[in-house]
Every structure is written in structure tokens, then in C-alpha cells.
Amino acid sequence: MTPRPSRQARGATRKLGELEAGARAVVRRVSGAPELLHRLMELGFVPGTTVTLVRRAPMGDPIELRLRGTHFSIRNSEADRIDVDPI
């Protein structure tokens, strides 16, 4: 699970939930309970994947993400388990 070095240089690692709407980033690491982790990874949150935070819901939570050509909504609490490198 080594991050791609070329991307690492572009910005400090942040939590996915902290991104601005419209920002893109590369997944670096996913943490959490085994089931949750496996589930997120099966959905495509594997290290090296590009993810876009499309928008936030009217009350700021959950968020809409674009990942591998699909749009998902997940809650901030789950998005905070995913470390990303902003592009």
C-alpha cells in the first residue's frame, strides 16, 4: 500500500472529508474496523485511486464523491477514515 510518490509531493495528506467541494485527490490510506475497511475498498477506495468531492448535501453532510466513474454519497464520519493527497 505505498502511495504513488509523484502525487505525494503535491500537497499534505488530508482527510477526504476535509476537501473543498470540487477538489480532486488520490486515496492514500483507508483505516477503520475490518468490515468497514473491506467494504470501502470493495467500493473502489483502494490506494492510488483518484476521487473527486463533487458537493456537500444542503446541511453539509453527507458528501457526494466521484470515484471510478460512479457517484457515491458517504457521510463525513466515513470520509474521515480515508486519507487522501489533494491534487
Partner 1 sequence: MSIPSDLATAPLTLQEPGRHPEHGRRTRRKLIAIAGGPNCGKSTLFNKLTGLRQKVANYPGVTVEKKAGFVPLPSGRTVEVLDLPGTYSLRPGSPDEVVVRDVLLGVQASTPLPDLTLLVLDSTCLDRQLYLCMQLIEIGRPVVIALNMMDTAKEEGLEVDAALLARAFGAPVIPISGRTGSGMRELLLAMDREVAPPRAVTRTLPEPLRAAADPLTRMLPITGPLASLSRFHVAMALLLDEGEDDSLMRAVPHPLRREVLSLRASLDEEIPEWRSHEPIGHYRTIEDLIRRSTLRLKPETSVRERIDRVLTHRVLGPILFAALMAVIFQSMFLWATPIMNAIDAGVNALGRVLAPLLPAGPIRSLVVDGAIAGVGAVVTFVPQIAILFLFIALMEDSGYLARAAFIMDRLMRGVGLSGRAFIPLLSSFACAIPGIMATRTIDNRRDRLTTILIAPFMSCSARLPVYALLIGAFIPNRMVLGFLSLPGLVLFSLYMMGILAAVLVAWVLKRTALRGPRPLYVMELPPYRVPSWRSVILTVRDRAGLFVQKAGTVILAVSIVLWFLASYPKNAEVKPLEKRLEAVEHGAAASAALGVGAKAETKALRAEAAQIQNQIAGVSLRDSFAGRAGRLIEPAIAPLGFDWKIGIALLSSFAAREVMVSTMATVYNLGDADQTSVSLREKLRHAENPKTGERAYSPLMAVSLMVFFVLACQCMSTVAVVRRETNSWRWPIFMVLMMNALAWIASFAVFQGGKALGLG
**Contact residues for partner 1 (CB under 8 A)?**
1, 30, 33-44, 46-47, 49, 54-55, 57-62, 64, 67-75, 77-78
β pairing state of 70-74 and 14-15? unpaired
CB of residue 67 to partner 1, shortest distance in Å: 8
Nearer to partner 1, 5 or 22 (CB): 22
CB of residue 56 to partner 1, shortest distance in Å: 8
CB of residue 2 to partner 1, shortest distance in Å: 11
Number of Cα atoms under 13 Å in the Cβ half of residue 86: 13
Nearer to partner 1, 14 or 56 (CB): 56
Closest listed residue to residue 52, CA positions, set 31, 77, 37, 72: 72
Q: Identify the bridge partners of residue 44 per DSSP, sorted by sequence position.
A: none
Nearer to partner 1, 11 or 76 (CB): 76
Please provide residue 30's backbone torsions phi and psi, each rounded to the nearest 5 degrees.
-120, 130
